[in-house]
Every structure is written in C-alpha cells, then in structure tokens.
C-alpha cells in the first residue's frame, strides 16, 4: 500500500504539505526521519521516539547486511518486529556506505566489489543484491542502488556515475517484487544541474513512486546544494514524494522545504547530541562549556521535549563532565525533538498560508545566534 497526496502548497516558494500512506501508517509531510543505522536510533528507545513525535525512521542496508545479516532480520519477522518499531521504516540502498566506508576495490557495470569496514572480508553487491537485502529487511520504502560521487568531481566522472545509477535503477525496478514495500529511485549528477535534470527525467521513464535526491551534503556549499534543488524543483513530478538524502542541518531543512522537498534524514542530531552540541531556534550551543555550570534554564525555553521540561543546562553539563550516559541521551532526545517538530511547524505554516514569514523569521533568528558558545 502506497499513496502520496498533496494537502497544501505555498504559492510563493513551492513548499508542500502532504500525506504519504505506507503499509505501516500515514506520514504527514514534510517529515524529518531519525536514522537508525543498525536497527536502533542511537541512545533512544522506540517508545521515546514515539513520544517525541517521530513518524518514520531509517535502517541502513550496508550495516545490517554486515551484521546481523538480512536473513536473521527476516527470521525475526523483519525490521519492524526485530527492533519493535511498528511505524514506517525506510531503508537506504547501501550505496553511500559502500562508497564512503568500505575499502572499495572495483566499480563495474554489474555492481561493486568492496571490503568490509569491520573485518576486511570481500563482498560484491549488485543492484539486485541491494533489493534482495532490503526486501528481507522489510521496510516500507526501499531505495534503488546508486553510485554516490565524492565532491569535488569532474563533469565527465559525474556523468559516468549518473549513467550507471540509471542503469542500476532500471535493474532494481525490474527485480523488486515485494508488494508491501515501495521502491524509490535516486537522482544523481553531483553539482551539475543539467545532469540532475536529465537524471530525474530518465528515472521518470522507468517509473518510480518516489524520488531521492542523493549526492548532496557530501562536501558542497549550501549555495551549491540550493542551486541543485532550484534546478530540480520544477522538473520533479508534483504527485510523488521528494526525499533529500542525508540532510538535517536546521537551515538546510527550512531551505529544502522552501524548494519543495518532502522528506529528510540525517545522523547529525544524534551524533551532535552525543558530543554535547544542542540545537535551538537561536543557534547551537555546546553544553560542555563551563559557562553553563550555573545555568539553571532549559536547553531551549521554547522547547517542549522531555529534557527541556525536566532538566537544566547546568545538570546536563554536569552529566557530560561526569561521563554519564544520560547526558548523551538527553541531548540526543532534545535534538531529535527539535528537528522533528521544526518540520512539523513548517507543515502547519504551509497549511496556514504563512510559510514565507515563518522561513524569514527562523533564518534570521538561527543565523544570528548560529555559533552560540
């Protein structure tokens, strides 16, 4: 079961509010998806994710292939039962990790030979293998296997990778057979707008029910990212969801939504949370700093998360200084709540017809205090 319906659209920017129906529930878009790399969102339980408002989470195909293995997950009843998360799940293709984490040996038209980052063992992944793994994992949304190019790159190599991505997308589409799972194609083309536009049109000819925008947030500037989104916005099908992969910095979310993006994910809020960096509407702050030793205010006095309702900056700083696990949990909880609810606030603003003013106010406030100490 899969359906996408637009509820509202901002006439000034093209920001969209929609309803995405999957086998495990309806998702209100735009949406931020916490990343559960190894069948867990780091430092969080499924019940806590529900409490902070998460609607859909990610599982990582590469990591789950490496351990515990897709057969074990399938025997457990799939990812939903394995991790006790009974809401929608999206699994990535494994392509980004194969190219960024693994000690890669060879890319060919048939697939990629690589070494495990865990033990150096050799593996070969074809587009069909990525699909098979994701079908065993059993997520609601799977992604076609693609080649993600590191930046900077040349137009020639970017085109070679884009052509390979399109060929692999067709193979994934033809191989995919699980009826309760939807397969998305991925738009590649690095920072070359003409390649990106060509790629989305050729993927449309194959016929996917949604499209990821891959290969961004991998070293390019924010301006370069926005230029690609500007080029793609009028070219992407309006009746299908658009997923900007691996992007989660607050200003990128706001500017992505302003350019018609419906779905986002990123490890940033959990990674930063474990290191004491907290997100607020008025910038980032480092809770490890001594200046918070006697600060008995919440992380953000406008935030309704569990951490902000019950604890102070001074207490959370004490936990970090003392090496207590709870410090990482509380800061992670706050960051996820902040992003999940930032995107929900944008949805309400789109429906209410006030997204442009919301965008201006958020960008002014966040950028003014973006480097709080």
pLDDT tens, N- to C-terminus, the chain (373 residues) = 899 999 999 999 999 999 999 999 999 999 999 999 999 999 999 999 999 999 999 999 999 999 999 999 999 999 999 999 999 999 999 888 877 765 666 888 999 988 888 888 999 999 999 999 999 999 999 999 999 888 899 999 999 999 999 999 999 999 999 999 999 999 999 999 999 999 999 999 999 999 999 999 888 999 999 999 999 999 999 999 999 999 999 999 999 999 999 999 999 999 999 999 999 999 999 999 999 999 999 999 999 999 999 999 999 999 999 999 999 999 999 999 999 999 999 999 999 999 999 999 999 999 876 655 4
Contacts of 312 (CB under 8 A, 6+ apart): 295, 296, 297, 298
The residue among 84, 30, 1 whose CA lies nearest residue 349 is 30
Residues with a catalytic annotation lie at: 92, 265
Q: Is the torsion defined by CA of 322, 324, 326, 332 positive or negative?
A: positive
> Cα–Cα distance between 306 and 129 in angstroms, integer?
41
From the CB of residue 213, how many other CB atoms can be counted at a distance below 10 Å? 26
> Cα–Cα distance between 137 and 65 in angstroms, integer?
9
From the CB of residue 20, how many other CB atoms can be counted at a distance below 10 Å? 25
Host H or E run for residue 365:
helix 355-368
- Asked if 282 and 303 count as a contact pair (C-beta separation under 8 A), the reply is no
> Cα–Cα distance between 346 and 357 in angstroms, integer?
11
Conformational region of residue 25, where left means phi above 0, alpha means psi within -120 to 50, and beta covers everything else = left
Structural domain boundaries in the chain: 3-266, 274-368
**The predicted structure's pLDDT at residue 99:** 74
Q: How many residues does the chain have?
A: 373
> Cα–Cα distance between 116 and 107 in angstroms, integer?
15
- Asked if 17 and 31 count as a contact pair (C-beta separation under 8 A), the reply is no
> Cα–Cα distance between 231 and 233 in angstroms, integer?
6
CATH number of 3-266: 3.20.20.105
First to last CA, the chain: 47
């Amino acid at each position: 079961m899969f359906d996408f319906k637009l509820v509202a659209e901002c006439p000034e920017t093209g920001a969209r509010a929609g309803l995405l129906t999957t086998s495990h529930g309806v998702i209100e878009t735009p949406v931020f998806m916490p990343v559960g790399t190894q069948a867990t969102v780091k430092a969080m339980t499924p019940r806590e994710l529900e409490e902070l408002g998460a609607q859909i989470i990610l599982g990582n195909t590469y990591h789950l292939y490496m351990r515990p293995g897709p057969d074990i997950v399938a025997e457990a009843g799939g990812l939903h039962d394995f991790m006790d998360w009974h809401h929608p799940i999206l699994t990535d293709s494994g392509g980004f990790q194969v190219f960024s984490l693994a000690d890669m040996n060879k890319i060919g038209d048939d697939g990629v030979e690589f070494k495990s980052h865990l033990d150096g063992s050799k593996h070969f992944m074809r587009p069909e293998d990525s699909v098979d793994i994701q079908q065993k994992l059993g997520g609601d949304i799977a992604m076609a296997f693609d080649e993600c190019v590191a930046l900077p790159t040349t137009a020639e190599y970017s085109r070679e990778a884009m052509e390979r991505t399109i060929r692999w997308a067709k193979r994934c589409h033809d191989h995919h057979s699980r009826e309760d799972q939807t397969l998305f194609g991925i738009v590649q083309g690095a920072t070359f707008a003409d390649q990106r536009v060509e790629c989305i049109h050729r993927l449309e000819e194959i016929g996917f029910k949604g499209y990821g925008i891959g290969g961004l947030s991998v070293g390019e500037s924010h301006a370069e990212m926005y230029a690609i989104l500007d080029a793609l916005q009028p070219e992407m099908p309006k009746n299908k969801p658009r997923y900007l992969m691996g992007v989660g910095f607050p200003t990128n979310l706001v500017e992505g939504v302003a350019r018609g993006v419906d779905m986002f994910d990123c490890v940033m809020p959990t990674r930063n949370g474990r290191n004491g960096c907290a997100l607020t509407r008025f910038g980032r702050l480092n809770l490890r700093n001594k200046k918070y030793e006697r600060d008995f205010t919440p992380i953000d006095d406008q935030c309704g998360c569990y951490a902000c309702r019950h604890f102070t900056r001074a207490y959370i700083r004490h936990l970090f200084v003392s090496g207590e696990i709870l410090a990482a949990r509380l800061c992670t909880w706050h960051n996820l709540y902040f992003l999940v609810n930032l995107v929900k606030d944008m949805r309400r603003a789109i429906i209410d017809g006030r997204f442009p003013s919301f965008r201006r106010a958020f960008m002014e406030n966040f950028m003014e205090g973006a480097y709080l100490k």
